[in-house]
Chain A
Amino acid sequence: MDALDLARWQFGVTTVYHFLFVPLTIGLGVYVAGLQTAWLRTGKEHYLRLTKFFGKLFLINFAMGVVTGIVQEFQFGMNWSEYSTFVGDVFGAPLALEALLAFFLESTFLGLWIFGWDRLPKRVHLACLWAAVIGSNLSAYFILAANAWMKHPVGYEVVDGKARMTDLWAVLTNSTALAQVPHVVAASFVVAGGFVVAVAGYRILRERGLGVLPGRRSVQAVQDATVPARRLPDMWRTSLRAALVMTAIAGVVVAGSGDVSGQLLREQQPMKLAAAEGLRHDTAGAPFSIAPGVEVPGLLSLLAAHDPGATIEGVDDIQARYEKTFGPADYTPNLPVVFWSFRVMIGFGMAAVGLSVLGLWLTRRPRPRRRRGDTAPGTARPVPGWFARLCVLALPLPTMAIVAGWLLSEIGRQPWTVQGELMTAASVSPGVSLGEVAITLAVFTVLYGVLALAEGVLLVRHVKAGPELPPVERTPAGPAPARPDEARLTPTLMY
């Protein structure tokens, strides 16, 4: 165990933690902005309640994404000074652009949104949320462009032992980035969709007095103060279906961009592709193992080359070729980790998207009867209790899928930090001692663990409490507002 190992663990731990929160921020932000837009356009009160409710969950999670992101910005310099000095000219540019073009937008306008409910005109207030959300998504683009450069460096030359950028446009339109950005951003929408679906499923169960596990009845839920006497029209059904639509569409994008990424892997990072299958030797018509021993012939070739007979390079043969090109070293990443993370990513991701398609079918509206004069659509199908339970239980699936995807992507890149240019062992800070990395690793792990737990508790608590009562019912003495834009419906600060 030396400083290098601990620095790698630290990067892994802090990045995975960061990545637990950020995808939810990216996807849920758009979802909340969509709800608020719906409220502004239709004036329907339940959209406002949903905006507030999911807005609060969004903000609890947003905090963790921001603070864990600060660590990332410093970590390159602290633990990986050799890497930073080598790549800064190229890699630093998207990071600087991320802060300048995305983070400022996100933080400033989110502050305006949180505190601006009763200070800004409604349209301006909504525009602030959209600006913040665009900032979040833009930041994903820049950081993934930087990350893509590590896997497939373009637009640079090496002068005096340092990478020098020759073409910023090439860096920003790196084929790897253009495949990776939609993949990760759409996966973030799947994560957020899965989150909303689980929350809505839970609320549906609770308001029917059902427990999350079958057979359990929660009696107190029936008298739950958050269930308004005057039921709002299928609020949770609306939010559930909206999230299912989001997840299903995002799932298609994830699959499509994942397919493109697979093609690129074969060209740009053959070792990662070989490791993902555990393929030892160059093979024509390479199979894909669904589990060890269960092989589908030709499927890997089909996935990676769109040709079931295509040759896929194998780990041992690539190792031999790399030794010739780069000199003797171990160029093979951790095979079991890469192999299993690939399967977890695909399996859990597909399960989450499959669930959303199933849910859309279960809750579809029956077609209007084809009788003359009867154009009203049929009554909406209620959400089945068992499906609501499934929604809650499936909560971890998308997050496990994206974390696995991240492990595949980054551990599969080893032993390189910059593919073909710089090895991880040569990237670490030479002046930082084992003890120093050990201290920071220990503190970050404990601190992040405690904070993640706290976030979980806060989220659960707010989901259980449910949305605030509509102001109409809270003040029965007052006159009912005629329009949703009356002052009393834009409640106090969310802070």
Chain B
Amino acid sequence: MTTFWFIVIAFLWTGYFVLEGFDFGVGALLPLLSRSEAERRQVLGTIGPVWDGNEVWLITAVGAMFAAFPAWYSGLLSGFYLPVFLVIAGLVVRGVGLEWRGKVGSRREVALCDAGIVAGSVLPAFLWGAIFGNLLFGTATATVLGGALSLSVAVLHGAVFVALKTTGRVRARARRAALLAAVGAVPVAIGTLPSVPGRGPMWTLGTALLAAAALTAGVTLVWGRREGWAFTATATAIAATTATVFGVLWTAPLPGLTLAEAASAPYTLTVLTWIGLIALPGVIAYQAWTYWVFRKRLTAEVS
């Protein structure tokens, strides 16, 4: 049961990184992809209906950690106190910016919202990688590399998403931005590969290689203007990376803490399993429906 819940939590974090990963990328790229207000709306319109639902994956992942592994939850959040604080401060500013930018009056206020969106996207995108990098290796280099990896991959993922969801000049710029982001993301990703062997179970080597391969494939597909497939590839890369990270964390989610010590009692895990098994497929279904409803590419004129 402990193992199962560890997998559930890894799954929730994977959902979070894949989904909010492109939200962060879109937010970070906002000033680079758009030249006019219409284009800014076009860019933000790609995530407008979905970003809040995507963020709930984080809330659920953290809530599930609290319920299933209280000591892991409290140890992680109090241990990474200031970085976690900066993440949530970023999420606060970004959320308000996204919700309010269509309701404020002057250009200056819109620009302020945009600044909040950019800062609130870059900061968490970097910090999540830094936190997990530090958790795995405990060195300053790993922290910075982890942050650089998560930020650059989020930017790539977001750029691919914008290219997939828009038309016209924004789409062309997003494609170029994706290729540029790849120049940063691919070397960092390949650079981290040698650190994987010997740390976790054997299969993490496979997921790490898969992540690197998917990332490279994604870049090639963007080059070939196959945006749907490119997005699938970058999503796979993020999912495989998250799987690798959690594979390594399996034995000891925090230094000096085993999963068994951190876990809640079997009763709690069992009831939560039943509720989760019923509810989670429903959540996935209606979120998928949202993406279906808003499947059309956005043009600069309409929004």
CB proximity of B291 to chain A, nearest CB, Å = 10
CB distance A88 to B82 under 8 Å?
no
Contact B77 A63 (CB under 8 A): no
> Which size bracket describes the interface of A in this complex?
35 or more
| Chain A proximity of B95: nearest CB distance (Å) | 4
In the complex the two chains form, is B52's CB within 8 Å of A100's CB? no
Binds A, one of B180-188, B216-224, B236-244, B273-281: B273-281
Q: Describe A's contact surface by its main secondary structure.
A: helix
Which chain B residues (66-96) contact chain A, with CB distance < 8 Å? 66-71, 73-79, 81-82, 84-85, 88-89, 91-93, 95-96
B3 in contact (CB, < 8 A): no
Contact with A120, one of B75, B88, B93, B293 (Cβ below 8 angstroms) = B293
Tell whether, in the assembled complex, residue B74 and residue A110 are in contact, meaning their CB atoms are under 8 Å apart. no
A105 to B52, CA, bound (A): 11
On whether the beta carbons of B74 and A76 are closer than 8 Å, the reply is yes
A96 contacts across to B, CB distance below 8 A: 60, 63-64, 66-68, 272
User: Cβ of B138: which chain A residues have Cβ within 8 Å of it?
Assistant: none
Residues of B contacting A105 in the complex (Cβ-Cβ under 8 angstroms): 286
Is B247 part of the contact surface with A, judged by Cβ < 8 Å?
no
Given contacts A63-B95, A96-B63, A166-B267, contact A104 B78 (CB under 8 A): no
Q: Does A213 contact B (CB under 8 A)?
A: no
Q: B45 interface residue, CB < 8 Å from A?
A: yes
B32 near A: Cβ within 8 Å? Answer: no
Given contact pairs A70-B91, A78-B77, A112 touches B84 in the complex (Cβ within 8 A): no
Nearest residue, chain A, Cβ from B275: A97
* Cα A114 to Cα B102 with chains together (Å): 12
Encode B229-252 as 1/0 by CB contact (under 8 A) with A.
Answer: 000000000000000000000000
Residue of chain B at shortest CB distance from A60: B103
Interface status of A99 (Cβ within 8 A of chain B): yes
Q: Which residues of A contact B95 (CB under 8 A)?
A: 63, 66-67, 70
Report whether A100 and B91 are in contact in the complex, using a CB–CB cutoff of 8 Å: no
B56 pairs with A85, CB closer than 8 A: no
Task: Report the separation of the CA atoms of residues A98 and B53 in the bound assembly, to the nearest whole angstrom.
Answer: 14
Is A231 located at the chain interface by the 8 A CB criterion?
no
Asked whether, in the complex, the Cβ of A101 is within 8 Å of the Cβ of B100, the reply is no
Task: List A contacts of B85 (CB < 8 A).
Answer: 78, 439-440, 443
Q: A99-B60, A112-B290 are in contact. Are A92 and B66 (CB under 8 A)?
A: yes
| Cα distance A59–B92 in the bound complex, in angstroms | 15
Pairwise interchain contact A461-B105, C-beta atoms closer than 8 A? yes
Are the C-beta atoms of A85 and B70 separated by less than 8 Å? Answer: yes
**Please, which residues of chain B bring their CB within 8 A of the CB of A328?**
none
**Which chain B residue has the least Cβ–Cβ distance from A77?**
B77
Beyond A73-B63, A100-B60, whether A93 also contacts B272 by CB under 8 A is: yes
The CA-CA distance from A74 to B56 in the complex, in Å, is 13
Q: Closest CB of chain B to A40's CB: distance in Å?
A: 19
Bound form: Cα–Cα A80–B265 in Å: 21
Shortest CB-to-CB span from B284 to chain A, Å, is 9
Q: How far is the CB of B241 from chain A (nearest CB, A)?
A: 23
Residues B92 and A68 in contact, CB atoms below 8 Å apart: yes
Q: Which of A46-54, A300-308, A428-436 contacts B (4 or more CB under 8 A)?
A: A428-436
Does any Cβ of A come within 8 Å of B99's Cβ?
yes
For the complex, give the distance between the alpha carbons of A494 and B102 in Å: 8
Given A60-B103, A92-B70, A447-B92, A73 contacting B81 (CB threshold 8 A) = no
Interface members, chain A 470-495 (any B CB < 8 Å): 493-495
Q: Is the CB of B78 within 8 A of A431?
A: yes
Cβ of B167 < 8 Å from any Cβ of A? no
Min CB distance B80 to A, Å, is 9
Q: Is A217 an interface residue (CB 8 A)?
A: no
Which residue of B has the minimal Cβ distance to A494? B102
B99 with A60: CB separation less than 8 A: yes
Residues in chain B near residue A92, CB distance under 8 A: 63, 65-68, 70, 73, 264, 268
* A96-B272, A100-B60 as given contacts; A89 in contact with B88, CB under 8 Å: no
Known: A99-B60, A107-B55. Contact between A67 and B91, CB under 8 A?
yes
Q: Shortest Cβ distance from A57 into chain B, in angstroms?
A: 10
Residues of chain A with a CB closer than 8 A to B271's CB: 93, 165, 168
Contact assessment for A436 and B81 in the assembled complex, using a CB-CB cutoff below 8 Å = yes
Q: Are B52 and A66 in contact (CB under 8 A)?
A: yes
A458 to B103, CA, bound (A): 8
Q: Does A297 contact B (CB under 8 A)?
A: no
**A462: shortest Cβ distance to chain B, in Å?**
7
Q: Which residues in A have their C-beta under 8 angstroms from that of B59? A: 69-70, 73, 99, 103
Say whether A241 faces chain B, with CB atoms less than 8 Å apart.
no
Whether B38 sits at the interface, judged by CB under 8 Å, is no
B196 on the A face (CB < 8 A):
no
Contact of A74 among B50, B71, B88, B272 (CB under 8 A): B88
Indicate with 1 or 0, residue by residue over A97-126, a CB within 8 angstroms of chain B CB atoms.
111110111011111101110011000000
Residue contact B56 to A431, C-beta cutoff 8 Å:
no
The 0/1 profile, CB within 8 Å of A marked 1, for residues 258-272 of chain B is 000000110110011
- Contact in complex: B56, A99 (CB < 8 Å): yes
**Binary contact track B21-57/A, C-beta < 8 Å → 1, others 0:** 0000000000000000000010001001111110110
Inside 8 A of A404's CB, which chain B residues have their CB?
none
Q: Which residues of B are found within 8 Å of A447, using beta-carbon distances?
A: 89, 92-93
CB contacts (< 8 Å) of B60 on chain A: these are 96, 99-100, 103-104
Please name the residue on chain A nearest to B266 by beta carbon.
A164
A87 interfacial by beta-carbon distance below 8 Å: yes
A62 within 8 A of B: yes
Q: Which residues of A contact B293 (CB under 8 A)?
A: 112, 116, 119-120
| Beta-carbon contact of B264 and A63 below 8 Å | no
Residues of A within 8 A of B11 (CB): none
A88 near B73 (CB under 8 angstroms)? yes
Q: Return the contact of A432 from the options B65, B78, B103, B275 (Cβ within 8 A).
A: B78
| B52 and A111 contact, CB distance less than 8 A | yes
Q: How far is the CB of B74 from chain A (nearest CB, A)?
A: 4
CA distance A87 to B49 in the complex (A): 36
Q: Are B53 and A67 within 8 A (Cβ)?
A: no
User: What's the nearest-Cβ distance from chain B to residue A201, in Å?
Assistant: 23
Q: When chains A and B are docked, how far (Å) is the Cα of A56 from the Cα of B99?
A: 11
5 CB contacts below 8 A, A to B, read A60-B99, A70-B95, A78-B81, A164-B264, A495-B45
The 9 closest A-B pairs by CB, nearest first: A88-B70, A77-B77, A92-B67, A63-B99, A81-B74, A92-B66, A84-B74, A108-B53, A99-B60
Known: A59-B103, A429-B74. 9 other contacts (CB 8 A): A73-B63, A77-B73, A93-B272, A95-B67, A100-B283, A101-B279, A111-B53, A447-B92, A451-B92
